Amino acid sequence: MRQIVIHNNVRRLRFNHDEMTQQQLAEQVGVTRQTIVAIEKEQYTPSLELAFRIAIVFNLPLEEVFYLEDAP
């Protein structure tokens, strides 16, 4: 099976949305700020539900927030 890694554009999208803070995003999706930090650092892959919640905040389809790449 092909090895893949999940990347995201959360940090860039926050800045494009009036420089939204991590805390503001965390409150809108119902997690702690530390979880948003971990997602941006790609130290944590969110659940499907949380991924959808984040995409909804940015009003974008899921694949424009999270995307796959082949593992090196």
Provide the minimum distance between the beta carbon of 40 and other proteins in the complex, in angstroms, as a whole number: 12
**Toward other proteins, which CB reaches closer, 6 or 16?**
6
**Toward other proteins, which CB reaches closer, 8 or 46?**
46
Residues that bind other proteins (CB under 8 A): 30-32, 34-35, 37-38, 41-44, 46-47, 50
CA distances from 12 to 3, 25, 35, 66, 72 (A): 25, 13, 16, 12, 23
**Toward other proteins, which CB reaches closer, 16 or 32?**
32
Beta carbons within 8 Å of 33's beta carbon, 6+ residues apart: 22, 23, 26
